[in-house]
A and B are shown apart, each in its own frame.
Chain A
């Protein structure tokens, strides 16, 4: 796989994860408060996200590439390590797995009990629930598309990966009409955490003045290193979890 392919795949996976979470909120809003309000909220959020991309995308292309890689690499590392840490804790049993069915039930219960207030011809709760859900999850997608795309010199390629993911998730949502609970969300988050961290290491090193042996090909070595470190951490923490359970069992 080329670095361009890796870029598209990373944007696709990250956007798919965020898309699944946004879909859960939109479905809860639509079922409880009506589809008109929910879909109006989705449309308004998509317009807001498009404005952000249109405003920031061209601005990022005029920043010197080394400065951009330094800042973007640092941001991706801080951001990606959050994903990776939580994914490792979930995979090893130290943190509860993300459950879309449970999230859907909670959002649905809240939406059903909220007061009906109509503004501009739509149910305001349903509108704002969808709008906030899509905007907040979408901002993460925008962040990834802009940082990946601008640093690698192709926002269009990153946007292609993100757009494909949104189409797939939205299509599945229309077909299934239920939260995509069967999507292995935690596995996807683990993969995205590894990819964000890999890009973060690669670009922050280049931005800080370092250079990689083998140039762009080193990206795949870094990927293997981050994946091996993460799987190693999961294995160690699983062993620790077992030991804690045995100790707790012996003490009971």
Chain B
């Protein structure tokens, strides 16, 4: 494995870890927050809700 690939793998494991779906849902949540905020509707509730969904989905798969 090349040095560059090992470096990339390290950062992937570091930030994303063994559950890429959670990281993907976080990105979706941030996108939804930006979309709601752009439409002049209060957007503070989106990320807390997204976190509950992420936890539910990831815990359900493992327990």
Contacts and interface: CB of A to CB of B under 8 A. Distances in A.
A73 interface: yes
A237 interface: yes
A229 B52 CA distance: 7
Q: Which of B33, B48, B63 has most A Cβ within 10 Å?
A: B63
Interface in A204-252: 204-205, 207-213, 218, 222, 225-226, 229-230, 233, 237, 240-241
Given A74-B26, A205-B33, A237-B63, A85 B19 contact: yes
A70 B33 CA distance: 11
Q: Which of B26, B37, B52 has most A Cβ within 10 Å?
A: B26
B5 interface: no
Contacts, number: 104
Contact size class for B? 20 to 34
Contacts of B43: 205, 208-211
Interface of B: 14-19, 22-23, 26-27, 29-31, 33-34, 36-38, 42-44, 46-48, 51-52, 54-55, 58-59, 62-63
17 contacts: A73-B30, A77-B26, A78-B22, A78-B23, A82-B19, A82-B22, A85-B59, A89-B59, A94-B63, A95-B62, A205-B44, A210-B44, A212-B44, A225-B48, A233-B55, A237-B63, A240-B63
Interface of A: 70, 73-75, 77-79, 81-82, 84-85, 88-89, 92, 94-95, 139-140, 143, 197, 200-201, 204-205, 207-213, 218, 222, 225-226, 229-230, 233, 237, 240-241
